[in-house]
């Protein structure tokens, strides 16, 4: 399913923050394609991530998020297409790559290493490394400094990645599924430290994840990847305002959704429920005028509907 992004501006009347210092592009791909023997992992992905924002790279497992980030950070070759990091080709480009930190979900660390060893290595890799910040985070995440990483749980490994990613102070920091295995307290700590760090030292952050709810309010822009393609790119706030649901008598719901961008419809008895992406700011008021109840659709649900592959229309079983 291809969604034509038809944005409308938020007519909120409030002064927008000056974006003057934020207009550089941290990462750009042009028609990026990656083909494995039996699989098209990326299919012509063109995206631009503006610098000094928090971006969400969202999509299901296997959508191509990790492949995209691996190519963007020169850890994998593209089959075709272009990549630029702060305007430069990253391949064999030490200068460009020194500005990037990519925390891979599947990162393997040398088994004999402990946290102290890892932090020592990281301090040589990242020019802006903040050792004091790394020490503080290690304590807050309660990681044993001298225990071999070999014995670490999934959550502890995620913590190591978060510490390195945050303390790298890299201008472009990409986190791939950063909070797998972390409990609610540790995730809360991650969001807290990320917000604090980002407020004090603005930099470009990419959070790649399929678990969207908790981070949706942190993201300024979302890029949805599905089946190796870029499905949607939009300012999070504008997307939040556009995604909504209508509930009411089935006939009224159907009459309203006909000709509109309906993502999903469910019926229960005589009433129906549909998820929509508005193409005008007045659409939700029109729905209410038509006798339907409207409610905001959470970003997580929107992405599930956009990237679900069992068709957009599903009747309830009742």
Q: Which residues bind another protein (CB under 8 A)?
A: 10, 12, 14-17, 53-54, 191-192, 195-196, 198-200, 214, 217-220, 237, 240-241, 244, 284, 294-296, 298
Of residues 196, 190, 191, 198, the one with CA closest to residue 172: 198
Inter-helix orientation angle 154-167/131-140, to 10° = 150
Rounded-to-integer distance, Cα 72 and Cα 102, Å: 9
Could you tell me if 229 and 46 are in contact, meaning their C-beta atoms sit under 8 angstroms apart?
Answer: no
- Of the pair 49, 78, the CB lying nearest another protein is at 49
Q: From the CB of 54, what's the least distance to another protein, in Å?
A: 6
- Of the pair 115, 274, the CB lying nearest another protein is at 274
Q: From the CB of 195, what's the least distance to another protein, in Å?
A: 5
- Of the pair 221, 226, the CB lying nearest another protein is at 221
Q: From the CB of 185, what's the least distance to another protein, in Å?
A: 14
Rounded-to-integer distance, Cα 204 and Cα 171, Å: 6
Q: From the CB of 80, what's the least distance to another protein, in Å?
A: 34
Name every residue whose Cβ is closer than 8 Å to that of residue 33 and which is 6 or more positions away in sequence.
40, 42, 43, 44, 45, 78, 79, 80, 81
- Of the pair 109, 244, the CB lying nearest another protein is at 244
- Of the pair 13, 269, the CB lying nearest another protein is at 13
* Overall size of the chain counted in residues: 318
- Of the pair 34, 203, the CB lying nearest another protein is at 203
Q: Using CA atoms in the order 148, 153, 158, 163, what is the torsion angle rounded to 10 degrees?
A: -40
Q: From the CB of 241, what's the least distance to another protein, in Å?
A: 7
Q: From the CB of 173, what's the least distance to another protein, in Å?
A: 15
- Of the pair 10, 279, the CB lying nearest another protein is at 10
Name every residue whose Cβ is closer than 8 Å to that of residue 4 and which is 6 or more positions away in sequence.
none
- Tokens read off for 110: 């040398």
Rounded-to-integer distance, Cα 180 and Cα 157, Å: 9
Name every residue whose Cβ is closer than 8 Å to that of residue 136 and which is 6 or more positions away in sequence.
none
Q: From the CB of 170, what's the least distance to another protein, in Å?
A: 18
- The secondary structure of the chain in percent helix, strand, coil, rounded to multiples of 5, reads 35, 30, 40
């Amino acid at each position: 399913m291809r969604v034509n992004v038809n944005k409308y501006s938020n007519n909120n009347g409030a002064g927008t923050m000056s974006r003057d210092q934020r207009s550089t592009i941290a990462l750009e791909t042009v028609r990026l394609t990656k083909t494995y023997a039996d699989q098209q992992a990326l299919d012509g992905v063109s995206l631009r991530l503006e610098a000094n924002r928090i971006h969400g790279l969202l999509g299901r497992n296997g959508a191509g998020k990790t492949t995209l980030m691996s190519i963007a950070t020169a850890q994998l070759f593209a089959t075709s297409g272009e990549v630029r990091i702060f305007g430069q080709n990253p391949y064999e480009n030490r200068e460009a790559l020194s500005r990037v930190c990519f925390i891979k979900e599947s990162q393997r660390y040398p088994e004999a290493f402990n946290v102290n060893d890892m932090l020592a290595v990281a301090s040589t890799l990242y020019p802006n490394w903040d050792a004091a910040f790394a020490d503080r985070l290690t304590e807050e995440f309660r990681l044993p400094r001298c225990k071999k990483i070999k014995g670490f749980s999934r959550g502890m490994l995620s913590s190591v990645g978060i510490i390195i990613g945050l303390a790298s102070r890299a201008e472009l920091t990409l986190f791939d599924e950063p909070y797998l295995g972390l409990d609610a307290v540790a995730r809360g700590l991650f969001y807290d430290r990320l917000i604090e760090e980002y407020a004090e030292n603005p930099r470009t952050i990419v959070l790649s994840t399929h678990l969207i709810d908790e981070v949706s309010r942190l993201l300024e822009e979302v890029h949805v990847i599905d089946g190796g393609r870029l499905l949607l790119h939009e300012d999070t706030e504008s997307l939040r305002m556009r995604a909504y649901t209508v509930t009411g008598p089935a006939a009224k719901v159907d009459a309203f959704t006909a000709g509109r961008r309906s993502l999903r419809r469910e019926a229960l008895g005589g009433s129906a429920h549909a998820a929509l992406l508005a193409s005008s700011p007045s659409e939700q008021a029109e729905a209410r005028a038509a006798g339907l109840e409207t409610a905001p659709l959470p970003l997580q649900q929107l992405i599930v509907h956009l990237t679900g592959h069992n068709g957009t229309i599903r009747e309830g079983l009742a």
